Amino acid sequence: MSGRGFAFILVALFPAYLALAAVLPPLDDELYYWCWSQRLQLSYYDHPPMVAYMIRASTDLFGSSIFAVRLPAVCASLVVLAVIGWLMRPRHLLPLVICSPIFTLGAVLVTPDSPLLMFWALYVAWLVKVQEQANPAREGGGWRKTHRPRGRGSSGMWLVGGVILGCGILGKYTMALAVVAGFVSFVLGGNWRRWVAGYVLHLVVAVAVASPILIHNIKHDFLPLSYQWGHSMGSPEPGLAPFAKFVGVQVLLFGLLPLAVFVWTLCNWRELIRDPRLRVCACLFALPFGFFLLKSTRGPLEGNWALVCFIAVWPLAARWYESVRDSARRRWATRVSFAAPIGCVVFLAVHLVRPLEVVPVAGDRLSRQESKLELARELSACLARDVDSTPVFVPTYQWAALLRWHNVEAEQLAGITRPSHFTQRPTSPSAFERVYVFTDRVIPNEHLPGFGPPRRIKEFPVTVRGQPYGKFVLLEYARQQK
């Protein structure tokens, strides 16, 4: 694929992504991050603040629609694709990469992964550029004549790298893995005098850019970092089952080729490190991916944690694909390795248009999300019709976010489900004489001290694909008279 053809694909994807962003129903977590953007902070309990900043900038410009909320994700996906296309030589596999879930339906979903992926991709591109200056590609024992050393690189380049790295950390703590992998890529390139001073400068800049996270954690006794450390480094259920599940999710998202390229990279690292572009890609793929594979043997690991690894895998896959160009069987097997992710996209697309009966209701998150959104609209209309200002409490952060999107200032009851941004400075029911609780479960009395038995206001049956699927109730609690 030529550069012009690649540019045409990027331009064509932009309106397609915008249309998809406008029609897909919002997910709970997307609305949760939108809630963050309504009250900007230096950082948040669950993640750093970049996703909230991006959503706020977009909604200030384009209004509070799901289209505006997702616009940062659309832009981030296009940046990631642009970097991958720039690094891939040749680009024969790029159309298949674009057809994977992350660059189709997943490309418009706004989460902390959106800024993380964008700044990780930019950091990979920056590493390649700066190492081409400090450590040009080698052939045999000397420098390629076309890539002579050009000095240590300007201070401006190192400053840019620090800003990119700092912004990535503001996106998600996972960006710290890029620091380790990037440093290893510099070490493998040698000539440390050409880069060490600039490298230290870029780290200092990154720390300065990411300092809001540190300030926020100091103010909150490092509770957010402690939560993330326990969440990411805990090993609750070691064994092969979580490893198999993690690998299975990666195959569904990206196919079998990255697993083969991982082994190929380990076997051919001496050759790959001679070229700055491939050296950076090898380090930014193999090191974090190996870490996640190891981590998955220690307990359940969310599949999206490894998304950043797959930015750097495709240039390596392009190199491998070019090396087997004389083998029709291997090239055919390479294309077939994308069957799982492409099949996954087709399945989800069909299911979005017309839900498939083969998917059980309990596992049909998309249809259940539609039902939850309808339920939130129904409750909002009910409260607006009665012009009722009584505060509403819910047991989960997901429902607090859903209801706030529908103009109900719901609060999460602390202590019932996992803590969130809403429970860090919670609004207590004890501050009111009367409260509503919208719930699908029994609320223990200790969470509503001083209130009498609840009065059932209204039931809200939940129907998913025409089938009953539980119910919610709106309960009224009034403070007991002394």
Mean pLDDT by 10 residues, the chain (482 residues): 84 95 94 96 94 97 94 97 95 94 95 97 97 64 40 78 97 96 94 90 97 93 83 71 92 95 95 95 97 90 90 95 87 93 94 89 90 94 78 95 94 91 86 92 89 92 90 92 66
458 DSSP β-pair partners: 474
What is the reported pLDDT for 143? 38
What per-residue confidence (pLDDT) applies to 300?
84
C-alpha–C-alpha distance, residues 380 and 392, integer Å? 11
Q: What is the pLDDT of residue 424?
A: 87
Q: Which helix (H) or strand (E) holds 469?
A: strand 467-478
Beta-strand ranges (E) seen in 374-466 are 392-394, 410-412, 434-439, 455-464
Percent composition of the chain: helix, strand, coil (DSSP 3-state, to 5): 65, 10, 30
Other Cβ atoms within 10 Å of 368 Cβ, number:
16
Q: Identify the pLDDT of residue 40.
A: 95
Quote the pLDDT of residue 426: 76
d(CA 184, CA 192): 12
pLDDT score for 149: 39
pLDDT tens by residue, 292-341: 999 999 888 888 889 999 999 999 999 999 988 888 888 899 999 999 99
Tell me what pLDDT residue 482 has.
61
- Give the whole-angstrom CA distance, residue 180 versus residue 55: 29
pTM over 0.75: yes
| CA geometry: angle 163, 278, 329, nearest 5 deg | 135
Is residue 52 exposed (0-12), middle (13-18) or buried (19+ Cβ within 10 Å)? buried
User: What is the per-residue pLDDT for 235?
Assistant: 63
For 471, the 3-state DSSP assignment is: strand
pLDDT at position 387, please?
63
Collect all residues with Cβ–Cβ distance below 8 Å to 370 and sequence separation of at least 6. 25
pLDDT at residue 173, rounded to an integer: 94
pLDDT (tens digit, 9 = 90+) per residue, 65-84?
999 999 999 999 999 999 99
> How many other C-beta atoms can be found within 10 angstroms of the C-beta atom of residue 245?
14
> Three-state DSSP class for 95?
helix
Report the distance separating Cα 158 and Cα 144, nearest Å: 24
Residue extents of the structural domains in the chain: 3-349, 362-478
